[in-house]
Structure 1
């Protein structure tokens, strides 16, 4: 694994804001109250994490699809098939309340990490990809964990 370029690192870390904000407002009632009055109840606690987590899993399906275009034949077909799994997971597995949805998102992000590793091993991602994905996934899983405890 290699050094992550500044732009992807900064944008990836910025993409963590809703997860960190959700965890923070779950742990801090005063901040949650402010968030409800200033932003609305959908933008605090696990609710912002669940909505945003579903969006990000779907986004990552598109990223993996893009990586699949860098190959051909059966490897491309496998890449396309694997790339839709995160979006389908988000669609089918995030109902049933905040605890089960949050738990399923945790499994979705861990599964995505496995897919990231496969695409990285196939040489379809930048060399620094796994360094970025390990960092971001670790923080996402910790933040989602706050909402399901």
Structure 2
């Protein structure tokens, strides 16, 4: 079992900072900066991250050939399209859509990993980061 590269782990964890900051603010209600915009921050940042992850999956697809590549390219655009088409309503419904989107992304991560297109350590990293994102989104939904 190969280790998660330190740079990938630390940068991935750093990518959680906006989610964690908004969740912490929502829980404490003490942020003069966010002042009630925690849900919006999570929503907008989540959209960006789903689009970013579409690009990562697209990159994995470049390692494939033929039909496997075509399927990979098709699957890779789903997180970005999901974010675009499902988050246009109010913040609450947008956050629910992000929860579904990040769960779906985890399934796509597994697919690309199982096909050997993602690094051996990929699912360990994605499980850590997805758990963090989903916990923060849950706070955003219920705090």
For residues 33-55 of structure 1, the C-alpha deviation after alignment (integer angstroms, 9 at most, x for no partner) is x214xxxx59x411111101000
TM score, norm. by length of structure 2: 0.95
Which residue of the other structure, out of 22, 32, 35, is the alignment partner of 2:33?
35
Larger helix percent:
1
Aligned-residue offset at 1:128: 0.3
Pair 1:101-2:94 in alignment: yes
Aligned-residue offset at 1:96: 1.4
Which residue of the other structure, out of 84, 91, 95, is the alignment partner of 1:91?
84
Aligned-residue offset at 1:2: 3.6
Unaligned runs of 5+ in 2: none
Corresponding residue for 2:43? 50
**Cα contact 1:2–1:131 (8 A) shared by 2:** no
Q: Hey, what's the Cα distance between the residues in 1 that align with 2:39 and 2:80?
A: 19
Unaligned runs of 5+ in 1: none
**Cα contact 1:57–1:87 (8 A) shared by 2:** yes
Aligned CA-pair RMSD: 1.3
TM score, norm. by length of structure 1: 0.91
Corresponding residue for 2:17? 17
How many equivalent residue pairs? Answer: 142
Q: Hey, what's the Cα distance between the residues in 1 that align with 2:98 and 2:48?
A: 11
